[in-house]
Each structure stands twice: as C-alpha cells, then as structure tokens.
Structure 1
Amino acid sequence: MALSWTELAPVDQPRDPLADFAVNAMARFTAADLDLSTENPSPERKSEYDDQWWLALVTVARGDDKVSSLTINELVRKAKDHYTKPLDNDLLIPGEYDGAFRESTDLDVITIYARRAYINAVNEQDGEDSLGIESIEVSFPLDSSTVNPSITEIAPIEMDLAVSDQTVVTAVIDHGIAIAHDLFRRENATGALALSRIDFFLDMDGTPDPNAPIQSTVGRVWTRDEIEQILSTNLHNGLLDEANVYRALGLIDWRRRSINSCAHRVSHGTHVTGLAAGYDAEDAKGVERRIIAVQLPTRLVANTMGQWLQQALEQALTFIARQMEHYTVGGAAQATPLVMNFSFGNFMGPHDGTSRIDRAIDGNLSKMAANSNRPRVLMLPSGNGNLSRCHAIVNLTNAMPSKELDWNLQPADRSASILTAWLPVMTPVKNGTVEMQVTVPGFSTPHTIIAGTAPGLTLLRDTNSSGVKVIVGMVVYSPPRFPTNRGRFEIYLVPTDHPVDVRPVARAGAWKLRFTKATSASDLSLNIWVQRDDTLPGFPQFGRQSYLSDGLYDRFSRPGGAVISDDALDHDSAVYRSGMINGIACGNLPAVIAGYVRSDRKMAAYSAGGPTLNAFRLPGPDASATSDDSVVLQGVLSAGSSSGSRVAMNGTSVSAPQVARWAADQIALSPATPFNRASVTAKALNDDTAGMDKPGLTRTGGGRMKLGSVFGDLRWSEQ
C-alpha cells in the first residue's frame, strides 16, 4: 500500500473539513459499525448510509444587513429551492422550535437534523449563500427508528403541574437513567412505591409514538402519569418488576440495540441522578424535588468521541426549557427554580467560551433566565483528563523558532483520532507566520502546511486492495473567524483498526509534528488539544486514547514512582496537565466542578483544571466537590441500576451532581434570590479558606466545598 499527499485548491475544499471527514472519509467505518450499505440500490433511492439522520449544530448566516440572522423558515425555503435539487426532505427542523423562534432574526447556534446530501451541500464553497448556514458541526448518525421525520412545529399542550414555592426542579441529562429506581419514587395512599418524582422523561433512544401526550423530534417523551401507569401495572405485592418496567419503557430492548445500560449493575445516569435528586421514599424533601430526565442517544455515547454529544445537549436544553412552562406556583408560570446537570465532556475546542456549544449553552441559559424570575443554573464537570497527556503548549521564539512533538496513535483503535493546534488571537494571520510539518510513522519525508490568510487542506490517501486510493487522514489549516479569531491547524485520522475489512486504516505509532515560526514573526504560543476517544465504562471496547509526548514529560516522581498530578514550576515539557479542563465547560454561565478526595482533601489526580482562555470566568473550575471517598475507597456511593442497590463510581461526573443537589437545597430556602455560578464559587471560598494546603486556583477553583455525603454513611458512619 502506498501513501500519498494531495493538496486541494481553496475552491475545492469543504468549508468545514471536520464535518466532511465525519460524513464522508469515515463513511466506510461508520457504515461497517452500523451494518449499513453505502451502495445506492437505484438512482431514485438513497443508500442506507445516505438515508441516516445526523444531528448538527449550525451557525446561522447573517442576512443582507450583516447584523440580523436569517430565520429558520428562510433556511427551509433555501433548502427547498436549492439550485442542484430540492433538499428540504434532507433537512429536519426540530419540532421543539416554536413559531416565534422559527421567525426570529436573532439566531446564532441552533440544532438541525440533516442527511448526508444536505450536509455536503452546506459544505460546498457557496453553502452559506445557497443554504444560509455559516458553519456546521455534525454528530454520529442517529438510529433511524428514533427520528420522527414527519414532525412539524410541536404545539404546546395544556398541562399545569401545580407545585409549592419550595419546589425545585432538577434536570439530569445523561445516559442509562433507571427511572424506576426507588430513590426516584414515593409512596401512594396504600404505602406502595407507585408514585414517580419524574415529571418528564425524554428517551432519545425511544421509538416515536404518535399517540404520546408530548411529541418530540427524536425519541419518546414519557409523562409522570404514563410512568406511574407502568409502575402500577408491574407492582406485585409491593414489589416492582423492574425488568418489565424497563422493557415497557424501551430502556431495555435487546432486539434494537446491543447496549442497554439499565440492564447493567452500574449505569452512569442512574448514579448521577441519584446524587442530584435521589431521596428515600420517607424523606419529605423528595416531594419538593421534581425531576426532568433526558436519556442521550446510545449511538452517540458509545462512539467515544465526546464532541458528538454536543448537538444532543442543545436539544436536551431546549426540551427542558419547554417542560418548565408546565410548572405553576399559585397559578404563576415560570416561577419554579431549575438546576440542571450534564456529567459529560470532551477535550477539544478553543477553551475560551467561543465554541458553538459554549455559545449554545450560554444562549439557552440566557433565554431560560429571561423567561423566568427564578434561578436557572447548569452544573458541568471539569473533566477527568488531567493525566491524559492530551494538551501541549508550544512556545516559539526567535531563540527557539521550532519545536517537535509526537502524537501517539495506539493500535486497535476503532475511533477516529483528532488533534487541533490553536494559534493565538491574530487577525489576520500573515502568510508564512507559522508552519506545521507532519511525518507519518515509518516514513521520513514530512508534509508541510503553512498558516496564512487562505485555508489549506491536504488529503492523506492510501491504496486499498482494489487499487483505489481512499482517504485515511486530513491535514487542515483554517484562518481566524469570528468570534474565536484564532487560526488553527488540525489533523483528522481514521481508526487504526476495524474488525471488518475496511482497510486501509491509519498508521499506529508516533506521528511526528514540527512547528516552526517565521523569522519575521513575533514570539507566539500554540495551544494543542487531542480529542478524547477512549472507551467509556460499561461499553464494549471501541476507542483507545491517543496522546502527546516529547521526551521531557515526567509521568511519575523519582524516587517512589508516584503519579505526578501537577506541573512543576520548572516544567520544561511542551506536554501539560494544566489546561485539560472540559472543552464544553468554558462558557460564561455554567458552574464547573472539579473533584477531590474526601479523606485527605487532595485533588483527585485525574481531575482536570485550567487555565481556560476565557477572561470572563475563573481560570479553572468554579469549585470542587468529593469525587472519591478515599484512595482505597474510590468513588462515591449512589444508586445502582436496581432499586435498593448502591454502587461506587468516581470522576468529576459524580462531583457535579452533588453540587446540583446542594444548589437545589439552597435555592429552596429563598427561591426568589438570584443564584448562579458565582454562588457556587462563594460557597467554595467560604468552605476552603486560603492556606498552605489549598490546591491552586486552576485545579480547585474557589475551593473544596464541604458537602455532606449523600450516601456515604453506608461506607462508614463518620461521613
């Protein structure tokens, strides 16, 4: 097999190379993973792969005045009138977007559902003019059986949920949420645990039901009445047949998918929801802690590439906002406080609050706040990538104008590998300011791509068994664009292995990178991040994390061999632990929570920190909460998948929901008092005053919060 580099002229380049890579270059791998055909059965019929729906985050183009955005209805008209062929059947606008939103000219980032034909048309050089999309970021294909392609604008329904002024709604966006767990139920008049505290449950894996009280674009929405009907049907002598409940809800369905997290002993979403809003049936506080749950699509979670969840997150926030309209306090709508938790993340993005998902989160939270005089707050984890070696800072000076770095791809990695090197804010980037050389493992001749005013894209091709050259990678340079205003180099590589013969694959081993600045250029620093792609707990082996190295990075201390979890003051490697904070946790509004060990109050070695590059927030997380009870008793206890069970799970994923629980309690004491991420930081600063043993600001934020252990007394009574 022979590798070759092919540079594309600017007019031949896709406008968003990553979307093109995901939809087209990865097609043979994605189709094999999903057992889809890529062959068109006839000129009139799409292939199975082309017929898939992709969830996409898009930036809406500006109108003729260059200030107002196009409307969603204009996007639909442009798709219908596209000059190549009508594309309106390949575009699906979420039904959750109401008429007023569809006519809004104040749009930035929205979500759409699109097929391959529409995505490719958007990615053409004239895609912004012809279809009104400035930029696009796609997910992994959704399960077609979960998408309702005939959906139109979903009309609001009459459903008033009268609650007290002490009620706080906790919304959890996660995967594997066993909603029938006894911690989410309460007793009825006969003493049976037949009443649910979950008012709304969006299962994005569900099959759409045209008769359901609440419709959705993807999946199935279950109301509390429907959930309680299923609970009552499956209660026998006070005992719940939970397996049958989950079969009735579609949460366990081996015929449709091979991964059913609620059938496992430990499920991420159940554990997180237990910490955020789980209460024993006899605990009166549970009555005032109502729950909205959103189950993320299994396909997107299983794919390991954290960025694929960003699109689903935006849709989840939209769903939650709509359901909050049903709560009334003394007849007043939008008067119930809301605390949300999303315990996922990734490594990528500019880390400065300007990414599409950061803007989408801030936009949704701002809109929620504008519609209510009660708190609306979102908790996010700081991430677990502190030791992953997925961040580097390359400083280029006149004294040292070049720097070499290895990007190590592991064998048997079934996921794509992605690296981004961000330039500093620089508009414009003068031609030749800096260059990146890439050398493939086993080869000695590098390929060079140069930063400047024009985009650059080079395809790396290999020859398959039929003698056809196919893409195994892309090397990209993108000039600065508003609002990030930073140029970037990117490398996208296909998997290094696959159980189905879809070769060629990417070469495993050390990909040599060399960055060099021009003599005439000022000193500059590049921030490099590698995308997370390791396999999540409870899922079959899929991705294996790629990482950076340069020979100067010390993983372990000498003598002793203990893991080093903080960069030393004299750190001389380009690879850093700092700056690995969750890539979607850099916006202005969410509260970001790191993790520490309760017994010795040290930061968990894996807990990621800043600095972020967003000057409008703390340089690291906002606060820290317990992620491990001790070095020996790792993790914290919360709900297992089955009622009555408690299991341990660690990570900043379990720190964030504990703060969400505390926030709900604080808000309930004074619902009309403003509450935001600054309130979280204030609590942390009060609990963890300055001292010699206090971790640095970039690791712990305001400090280590002293929160009571939710279920820790089951481990030892002193908690």
Structure 2
Amino acid sequence: MSAPAAPALPPAVQAKCDPYLLSALLSQFAHYDDHADGGSAPLLSVGFTVVLPSAGLTAASVQATLADWVAAHPGARITDAHLNPLAHGARTAYVTADVSPTVLLLLGAAPFVTELQLCANPLPRRPLAARPTTPASPPAAPLRTANKKILATIDHGCAFAHQMLQNAGGTRVWALWDQDPRPDFDPAQGSTPIGYGYGRQVGRDVLNACVAPNPPVPGWNEDRCYAQARYGAVQSRLTHGMWVTGLLGSAMTSPSLTESGHAKPCHDAEDADLIFVQLPRAIPLAPGLGSIDRAVLDGLRYIADCAPDDAEIALVIDYGTDMGPHDGTSWFERALDALTAELLASRNVQLNAFYAAGNAHDARRHAVIWGEAAKVQSAAKLPWWLPMDNAAPVAMELWFHEAAPACELRLQAPGASAPLTIHLANDWLGTPPGMQPGQCVVVSKRMRGRPGQAWQRQVLIDVGPTQRPDNASGTPAAPAGVWTLTLTPTGSTLLQPVHAYTCWGGQNPGVPQRAQATRFVTPPEDMPQAGAVRVTGSGSVLGSGCGDSNQVWMVGGYERWGQRLRARYASGGGVRGGKRAAPLGVPPHQGVDWLAATEQSSALPGLLLLGTRSASRSRGRGTSFAAPQAARQWLAGTLTTDPPPTHTRPGPASVQWPRDEYGEPRIAPSPD
C-alpha cells in the first residue's frame, strides 16, 4: 500500500490508530489485505469513531465532508447507515469504511474522528483463488419484513432450500445478504443495500423461485436450486452457518437434544422470520479481530434495518475474537452497546445478541501474570509456541491496567541473536533486532480504559506466517518455535494483574484450513504451575461480548450426561472488567449467562446437526451450538433453566484434571 509507514504519520494521527493499524502501516500490509474490493487499487477496510464536538460541527456538515471525500476518491466507500444516529441527536457514531491511502490520512487528521481501527482481513500465504467478478446490483433499501419476531445469524453457508427451513410460505429465510466484495447470487435478482454500498441482498421471493421454479422443472433438486441461485457457499455438504441455522430455525429438534434420541417437532418461535448475513469468504478461512468486527457490526445494523419498529430480534453471533481487553472497552464492544441502546430508544427494537462463549478454556490461549497477591513481584516468563509452516499471521496481546506500567518487556524469538527489550511506560513501535516488519512488529500503546479508569496499556506482538513464501521476493517467514516473553517490574509499586491472550487457530467447516493454533507453554497437567504466570481457562470468555449492554448474552456448553459438567472447551470465568468481571460487577458474573447442551454423550460427542442438504446430518462440537438454543427459546418465551450442579469436582487429578465450575445455570432440555 502506498500509505505512509506508521512512523511517518503525525503524532496526533498515530494516537488515533489502533495497534493493528500501526503494525500494518509499518509492515506496508505484508500480511493484511489492503484490496478490500478484490481489485488492484489499494483500498483498506477500517472502523472509525465520529464524535461531534459541543459546538462548531454538525451532523450534516460531517456527513457532507465524508461524502465529498468518498466522491473525490474512486473506490472509497463509507457505510452511511452507521451515521444515521447523528441525524437523530446522537453525538457519537461507530462507522466502517473502505478507504484509499489519502482518505485514511484525511480521517486521521479530521477533528471529528477520535479513533481508527484496522478492519482488514489477515492475508495468509496462498489465499483462496480470486472469486469471479459480477456486475453490481441496483441499489435498494434493506429488505424490511412486517414480522416483529426475527431470528438471525451472521455466519457462512445458509441452505435456504432445506426441508427443515420450509413452511407454508416457502423458505423461512426472509433475507440473505452476502457481504463478500464479490458476492454470490444473480446480480439481476439481487440488490445492493442502500446505506451499506457493497455485497448483494436477496429476498424470500427470489429464494422461493429457486426452491420451487414456476413452471415446475422435472428432476429439480437442491443441488440444481443452489446452482440456479449461484450460491456457492453451500457447495460443501456441511457449513458452520447451517449447523447454527438448523438449531435456530429447524422444524425438528435435533435427536441429540431429546430424551428419546429421536428428532421431534420444534414449535419454538416457528412463526419468526429468519435473516442470514453471509460473511465474506476470507473470514471463515482466517478470522481476524478487525475483519470480524467490521463484518459483524455491519451485519447487526443490516438485520435491524430489516426489522419493523417494535420488533424483537434474537441474533446469534458465533464469530468473535479471543483477543481484546475483555472489559467492554474495545471499539466493537462500545459500538455494540451503542447500537442496542439506539435501536431501543429510537424504534423500540429489542436487538438481543447471543454470543457463543468461545472454545478456548482448555486451549492454553489465556494467561494471567502476577494474578496472586504477593509482597514482591518477581520477573515473569511466558513461553509462546508458534507452529511450523503456519500460513496465517498470528498475534499475542498483553493488557496492563496501568497506562504507564513500571515494567520492562524482553522478547526472545527462536534463533534470534539478541532479544528485543523495551520499557512500557511509553508508547513504542518497532521490530525485534534482525527482523523485518513483515516478520514481526511490536506495538506498545496507551488505550482507552473503563469509565473512571482513564487509560490502560496494550502491547501487541504481531507475527507473520511461519510458512515460507512461494518466491524469493516474498516476505520471509517468521521464526517458528517458542518465543519467550519476560516481564520485569522496575518500580516499587506492585503492578495489577496482566492478562495475555493469543489468537484462534483451526478450521471452520466447509472451508480449507489456513490458520494453525498457537498456545502458551505450560507444565504437564499433572504438575502444578509455579512462579508468577498462570495459564488458565478462567477469564477466557470471548472478547467480543464483554460490554455493558443488558441485551448482550453469553452462552457456553455442558455435557448432557452424568453430572452435566461444563464442556471442557467452553470458555468461562471472570474477565478483566465490565459487568462480567468479579468482584467489580454488580452482581458479579463469574461465568456466562447460561450453559446449553453441546455434548450428547461420552460415546457421541457434540450434537447431530443439519447439513446443507435435506437428507444429511453431521456432528459439530462447540459453544457455537449453544447460542442458537438460547436465542430461539428466549424469543419463544420458553427458556427455562436448572440450577448449576452442586457436585464435587471430578477426579482423581492423576487421571482427570479438576474442572472449573462458575455457577452457571443450565438451559433445561425440552421434554419429549
């Protein structure tokens, strides 16, 4: 990208940029996608915050300025729908955009822009082949339904022709919006939603015409239906989105969730419309913090725009991030809190977001440093393992409660001749000795804190792929193996606990794998951890849902058999701050809001879920399949819970490591 490198930016602009944006600018987007529309010209996805001053600027003048910038720079695009709150008296708006390098600098210098966040997709080695381009669809308003009950999700792959999603009116899917810059569906049959300016939406009438052509076609089946619709996201026989949508809207309850083990009719919220937001294809391939934030925030507002006034929306969000401050202060969490409050106040729309708690509890992706009270704090060493031949970039974040902690950071990369040593009392941006920015960038930056806590500090260690490039001119691979991070206190005042998070890795159903999991190195499970570092599942709740809104829920999983233990992977425990923290919250929330059954039996792991064809089922595991159970029952008014079990922890420890419990109520299975 031809944007200036981060050190060349004016200090006032640097102060507005989040650490990921600073890292990407320093590396000149070595492993972030700076072609948001899939074209050849540089175009960067960002999120930014507009704050109107008490005097001088008006909502109309800000909107006019942004419109002029977009008009003067071909390809640039701002999601105007996010500016609507300003026209109704709000002073703050959280906006997404695709911008050229020049517009990025204009936003950074604008007095009404207070922060900029990178929302670009991580760019793995050997990304998917470019999707074919199609003509743009004509603009049209988001497809508003008259139904005041809505079940929605933001995911990948919706089999709208599945028999379990049909009723007397055809498919229950009211609207499907494909957010990809090169979207599926026939351009002539779909439209580009006004206020968003990208992707393609199709409504129930178009979907029904694909499900049941008129006049009838002999031999018509679901394969031909999706080919006619030009919807390639369901070519695979299973997708994460269909697993979730099946639990959210299927006419039958999964056999894994009935007492008899047989499917049975499910009448919960059967009168609700379904709305599906199809994620850009790059996100299931290699999810990133910023790219998820942008897609989900746009999807949330689109779903709300499809709802009538006074509607109730139960929305399932399974794509989030394990990264972030885990205290509600991230850009996305503040935007989500503002959106739910705005919709309730302006249109009496109850947008309730049901988040999967995440599957990181036993993944060793969260650590707490100096978490136990001590009179003296010694140096803390945290080993971080990066797999060989990983095609995707990875990252680790450290979060300090202090804005200027008296602490020294030492980072030793595998095989490096010298470590990087920096003092964390001040902001810092650079690379470890002997490395290029495309291999590793370290950012230390003061960040917004909780109300009453002015500032805190984030340290980002942003590491490129450990897989070698395909040609000699490519960015060299980052070192694989164990990176050792050492924190040494340098002051007389004890530091508050420091939290470390590392990113997700794995494979999403129906797409190739590009991201492998990293982890913090710990002793074997039968040996206690010693020293100042504890690698733990406590506090590993997904970092996208820790805000203050009472309309954001967190759902984990439990095992249906025996003592109904919390599933080993289900993230839980108190987080750094906000309403889910303990003891700061009132009331304290030690864990998630509910647990739903996600494990059928010890012999049949996971749940039996719908495939993308009516005759197919497959098994899926994870808290992603807890959230839709809670959302559907909440909308139907049938959600009932059982108290958490009072059993002792299982053992013996030499065979089975004791499992944490956080007092989370279990959603009761529906009776036969």
Structure 2 CA distance for partners of 1:393 and 1:80, relative to 1, 3 Å: same
Structure 2 CA distance for partners of 1:9 and 1:575, relative to 1, 3 Å: farther
Q: In structure 2, give the amino acid aligned to 1:635.
A: G
User: 8 Å contact 1:345–1:584 — kept in the other structure?
Assistant: yes
Aligned residues: 618
Indicate the larger mover: 168-177 or 279-288: 279-288
Q: Does 1:301 align with 2:284?
A: yes
Q: In structure 2, give the amino acid aligned to 1:119.
A: L
Corresponding residue to 1:379 among 351, 354, 359 = 354
User: 8 Å contact 1:345–1:583 — kept in the other structure?
Assistant: yes
Q: Deviation of residue 267 (structure 1)? A: 0.9
Q: 1:206-245 residue pairs with structure 2 within 5 A?
A: 206=183, 209=187, 212=190, 215-216=193-194, 217-233=197-213, 240-245=220-225
Q: Give the whole-Å Cα distance in 2 for the aligned partners of 1:283 and 1:690.
A: 27
Q: Give the whole-Å Cα distance in 2 for the aligned partners of 1:631 and 1:8.
A: 55
User: 8 Å contact 1:410–1:545 — kept in the other structure?
Assistant: yes
User: 8 Å contact 1:148–1:218 — kept in the other structure?
Assistant: no
> What residue is the counterpart of 2:79 in the other structure?
94
Q: Does 1:515 align with 2:496?
A: no
User: 8 Å contact 1:530–1:546 — kept in the other structure?
Assistant: yes
Q: Deviation of residue 17 (structure 1)? A: 3.5
Q: Does 1:594 align with 2:584?
A: no
> What residue is the counterpart of 1:363 in the other structure?
338
Q: Does 1:612 align with 2:612?
A: no
Q: Give the whole-Å Cα distance in 1 for the aligned partners of 2:625 and 2:319.
A: 10
Q: Give the whole-Å Cα distance in 1 for the aligned partners of 2:490 and 2:205.
A: 67
User: 8 Å contact 2:392–2:514 — kept in the other structure?
Assistant: yes
Q: Give the whole-Å Cα distance in 1 for the aligned partners of 2:7 and 2:158.
A: 46
> What residue is the counterpart of 2:49 in the other structure?
59
Structure 2 CA distance for partners of 1:277 and 1:237, relative to 1, 3 Å: same
Q: In structure 2, give the amino acid aligned to 1:309.
A: I
> What residue is the counterpart of 2:261 in the other structure?
none
Q: Give the whole-Å Cα distance in 2 for the aligned partners of 1:102 and 1:148.
A: 32
What are the superposed Cα offsets for residues 431-478 of structure 1, whole Å, 9 maximum, x if unpaired?
A: xx11211112113522111122x4211234758xxxxx6542111111
- TM-score w.r.t. the length of structure 1 is 0.77
Query: Residue 431 of structure 2: SS of its match in structure 1?
Result: strand
Q: In structure 1, give the amino acid aligned to 2:339.
A: N
Q: Deviation of residue 21 (structure 1)? A: 2.9
Q: 1:460-479 residue pairs with structure 2 within 5 A?
A: 460=432, 471-479=438-446
User: 8 Å contact 2:6–2:23 — kept in the other structure?
Assistant: no
Q: Does 1:692 align with 2:635?
A: no
> What residue is the counterpart of 2:97 in the other structure?
112
Q: Give the whole-Å Cα distance in 1 for the aligned partners of 2:37 and 2:94.
A: 32
Query: Residue 312 of structure 1: SS of its match in structure 2?
Result: helix
Q: Deviation of residue 643 (structure 1)? A: 1.1
Q: Give the whole-Å Cα distance in 1 for the aligned partners of 2:418 and 2:573.
A: 36
Q: Does 1:583 align with 2:554?
A: no
User: 8 Å contact 1:625–1:658 — kept in the other structure?
Assistant: yes
Residue identity (%)? 23
User: 8 Å contact 2:407–2:424 — kept in the other structure?
Assistant: yes
Structure 2 CA distance for partners of 1:316 and 1:633, relative to 1, 3 Å: same
Q: Deviation of residue 271 (structure 1)? A: 1.0
User: 8 Å contact 2:210–2:226 — kept in the other structure?
Assistant: no
Structure 2 CA distance for partners of 1:277 and 1:23, relative to 1, 3 Å: farther
Corresponding residue to 1:547 among 499, 519, 523 = 519
> What residue is the counterpart of 1:45 in the other structure?
none
Q: Give the whole-Å Cα distance in 2 for the aligned partners of 1:582 and 1:147.
A: 36
Q: In structure 2, give the amino acid aligned to 1:218.
A: Y
Q: Give the whole-Å Cα distance in 2 for the aligned partners of 1:591 and 1:317.
A: 15
> What residue is the counterpart of 1:180 in the other structure?
161
Q: Deviation of residue 492 (structure 1)? A: 0.8
Q: In structure 2, give the amino acid aligned to 1:405.
A: L
Structure 2 CA distance for partners of 1:697 and 1:611, relative to 1, 3 Å: farther
> What residue is the counterpart of 1:270 in the other structure?
242
Q: Does 1:171 align with 2:152?
A: yes
> What residue is the counterpart of 2:116 in the other structure?
135
Corresponding residue to 1:342 among 300, 311, 317 = 317
User: 8 Å contact 1:381–1:593 — kept in the other structure?
Assistant: yes
Indicate the larger mover: 620-629 or 17-26: 17-26
Gaps of 5+ in 2: 124-129, 253-263, 581-588, 651-657
> What residue is the counterpart of 2:394 in the other structure?
417
Q: Give the whole-Å Cα distance in 2 for the aligned partners of 1:597 and 1:572.
A: 33
Q: Deviation of residue 646 (structure 1)? A: 2.1
Q: Deviation of residue 134 (structure 1)? A: 2.1
Structure 2 CA distance for partners of 1:651 and 1:615, relative to 1, 3 Å: same
Q: Give the whole-Å Cα distance in 1 for the aligned partners of 2:507 and 2:86.
A: 38
Query: Residue 582 of structure 1: SS of its match in structure 2?
Result: coil
Q: Deviation of residue 278 (structure 1)? A: 1.0
Q: Give the whole-Å Cα distance in 2 for the aligned partners of 1:145 and 1:569.
A: 52
Q: Deviation of residue 345 (structure 1)? A: 2.2
What are the superposed Cα offsets for residues 612-663 of structure 1, whole Å, 9 maximum, x if unpaired?
A: 1234232321110011101220111221110132221110000111111211
Q: Deviation of residue 399 (structure 1)? A: 2.5
Q: In structure 1, give the amino acid aligned to 2:444.
A: Y
Query: Residue 314 of structure 1: SS of its match in structure 2?
Result: helix
Q: Give the whole-Å Cα distance in 2 for the aligned partners of 1:530 and 1:72.
A: 41
Query: Residue 366 of structure 1: SS of its match in structure 2?
Result: helix
Structure 2 CA distance for partners of 1:514 and 1:266, relative to 1, 3 Å: same
Q: In structure 2, give the amino acid aligned to 1:451.
A: L
> What residue is the counterpart of 1:440 in the other structure?
413
Structure 2 CA distance for partners of 1:546 and 1:440, relative to 1, 3 Å: same
Indicate the larger mover: 383-392 or 571-580: 571-580
> What residue is the counterpart of 1:562 in the other structure?
none
Q: Deviation of residue 366 (structure 1)? A: 1.7
Indicate the larger mover: 370-379 or 266-275: 370-379
User: 8 Å contact 2:36–2:98 — kept in the other structure?
Assistant: no
Structure 2 CA distance for partners of 1:416 and 1:71, relative to 1, 3 Å: farther
> What residue is the counterpart of 1:319 in the other structure?
302
Gaps of 5+ in 1: 1-5, 37-47, 189-194, 253-259, 326-333, 464-468, 559-567, 668-679, 710-718
Query: Residue 307 of structure 2: SS of its match in structure 1?
Result: helix
Corresponding residue to 2:227 among 247, 253, 260 = 247
> What residue is the counterpart of 2:62 in the other structure?
74
Query: Residue 49 of structure 2: SS of its match in structure 1?
Result: strand
Structure 2 CA distance for partners of 1:691 and 1:20, relative to 1, 3 Å: same
Structure 2 CA distance for partners of 1:691 and 1:30, relative to 1, 3 Å: closer
Q: In structure 2, give the amino acid aligned to 1:56.
A: V
Q: Give the whole-Å Cα distance in 1 for the aligned partners of 2:281 and 2:7.
A: 36
Structure 2 CA distance for partners of 1:350 and 1:288, relative to 1, 3 Å: same
Q: Give the whole-Å Cα distance in 2 for the aligned partners of 1:79 and 1:699.
A: 52
> What residue is the counterpart of 1:500 in the other structure?
470
User: 8 Å contact 2:559–2:565 — kept in the other structure?
Assistant: yes
Q: In structure 1, give the amino acid aligned to 2:316.
A: N
Query: Residue 324 of structure 1: SS of its match in structure 2?
Result: coil
Q: Give the whole-Å Cα distance in 1 for the aligned partners of 2:53 and 2:565.
A: 52
Q: Give the whole-Å Cα distance in 1 for the aligned partners of 2:6 and 2:177.
A: 45
Q: Give the whole-Å Cα distance in 2 for the aligned partners of 1:513 and 1:185.
A: 54
User: 8 Å contact 1:55–1:139 — kept in the other structure?
Assistant: yes
Structure 2 CA distance for partners of 1:135 and 1:398, relative to 1, 3 Å: farther
Q: Give the whole-Å Cα distance in 1 for the aligned partners of 2:283 and 2:134.
A: 14
Query: Residue 507 of structure 2: SS of its match in structure 1?
Result: coil
Query: Residue 605 of structure 2: SS of its match in structure 1?
Result: coil
Q: In structure 2, give the amino acid aligned to 1:643.
A: S
Q: Deviation of residue 417 (structure 1)? A: 1.5
Indicate the larger mover: 338-347 or 96-105: 96-105
Q: Deviation of residue 356 (structure 1)? A: 1.1
Query: Residue 637 of structure 2: SS of its match in structure 1?
Result: helix
